[in-house]
Structure 1
Amino acid sequence: MDWVELAGVLPESVVDGPGLRFVIFTQGCPHRCKGCHNRHTWEPGGGKMYAADELFEQIRANPLLKGITLSGGEPFSQSAPLAGLARRVRDKGMDVICYSGYTWEYLTGHLNGRGNFQELLGVTDYLVDGPFVEELRNFKLPFRGSSNQRIIDVKQSLEQGVIVPAAWGR
């Protein structure tokens, strides 16, 4: 059984991506962005361990969910167990959004050399990339906090070899 350390979950949200979403807040973040609204998620070991199977059962129990959102902390710090969960969610016809302080360029540049980035990125439908930059904060942007962050259609971007913005994030 896969385990993941979380700061918590939000069973229903409409502010963490389009549609009704189950939000998973991971524990542990190396980015420590100035102005972060999830500072309590920074320290590894400060959360609670959750079984991926139990999370999946909670997700599956709500037929109104469009998908899940992996937030943080930094989801790519726990990419292996989250990739397994995300794969199961997608197999049920739901989508996966992942927020990361890493940029697309960093993640795709380290696909073969660091922690299962490839596995999690491969089961992510949409990536909100880049650190939160307080000086670039913009409350008018859909589903992100600062103007440097992009909402990327992962499948299209991997297929085309260039960043393809998600239609709903423009």
Structure 2
Amino acid sequence: MNISQYYAVDVINGPGTRCTLFVSGCIHQCKGCYNKSTWSLRSGVEFTQEYEDAIIRDLQDSRIFRRGLSLSGGDPLHPSNVPAVLKLVQRVRTECPSKDIWMWTGYTLSELSPAQQQVVQYIDVLVDGKFEQALADPSLQWRGSSNQVVHYLTDK
């Protein structure tokens, strides 16, 4: 898996202060996407063990409290990204159990493959659906267009 950006401290992509990882690769290629540079699976840099370890360290850092991890892109549920994303969310659950995990995907819950569903069982909030430029609404929280749905999957 490649990533386009990692922010160790982010206050935009989810509630509170968070770690945010933007992965590369998106098959949806929504018109009006603000992050077109992430569409190619080859864009960005390789997501290495060092990146994964840094995310865990940052989530555990007591100097700057982080509420959780946000995964965006590209699309974290792109079939090529699923194995690495699954490994990461499983590790966050094990080593940082008090942290929440938010994820944005162009897939809807009903479209998810069994492998993608396996990832979703580890996250707390899923924002699903393709960005639809005709339904864009800047007043919406956590999503860009009104067709997208914020699914609160746990009580975190």
Q: Same fold (TM over 0.5)?
A: yes
The total of aligned residue pairs comes to: 148
Q: Percent identity?
A: 32
Equivalents in 2 of 1:155, 1:61: separation in Å? Answer: 24
- CA distance in 2: counterparts of 1:82 and 1:47, whole angstroms: 16
For 1:95 and 1:138, how far apart are their aligned partners in 2? 26
Question: Could you say what secondary structure the match of 1:83 adopts?
Answer: helix
Cα distance in 2 between the residues matched to 1:48 and 1:61? 24
Alpha-carbon displacement from aligned partner over 1:9-65 (angstroms, at most 9, x marks no partner)? 112222211111111000011000000000000011111012223432333335500
Counterpart amino acid of residue 21 in structure 2: I
Secondary structure in 1 aligned to 2:77? Answer: helix
Partner of 2:121: 122
Q: Deviations over 1:58-98 (max 9, x none)?
A: 33335500000000101012122112211222331101001
- Match of 1:23, as an amino acid? T
Answering whether residue 91 of structure 2 is matched by residue 88 of structure 1, we say yes
Q: How does 1:20-99 map to 2 (within 5 A)?
A: 20-51=17-48, 52-61=52-61, 63-77=64-78, 78-91=81-94, 92=96, 93-99=98-104
In 2, are the aligned partners of 1:41 and 1:72 still within 8 Å (CA)?
A: yes
- The offset of 1:103, in angstroms, is 0.6
**Conserved in 1, the CA contact under 8 Å of 2:27 and 2:39?**
yes
Would you say 1:141 and 2:140 are equivalent positions? Answer: yes
State TM-score, norm by structure 2.
0.87
Whole-Å separation in 2 of the counterparts to 1:24 and 1:137? 23
Maintained 8 Å contact 2:4/2:22: yes
Counterparts in 2 of 1:100-115, with a 5 A limit?
100-107=105-112, 110-111=113-114
For structure 2, which runs of at least 5 residues remain unmatched after alignment? none
Q: TM-score, normalised by structure 1?
A: 0.80
TM-align CA RMSD: 1.8
Runs of 4+ residues over 3 Å off in structure 1: none
Task: Name stretches of at least 5 consecutive residues in structure 1 with no aligned partner.
Answer: 157-165
1:10 aligns with 2:15: no
Range moving further from structure 2, 116-125 or 135-144: 116-125
Decide which structure has greater helix share.
1
Contact 1:11 1:23 in 2 (8 A): yes
In 1, Cα distance between equivalents of 2:66 and 2:125: 16
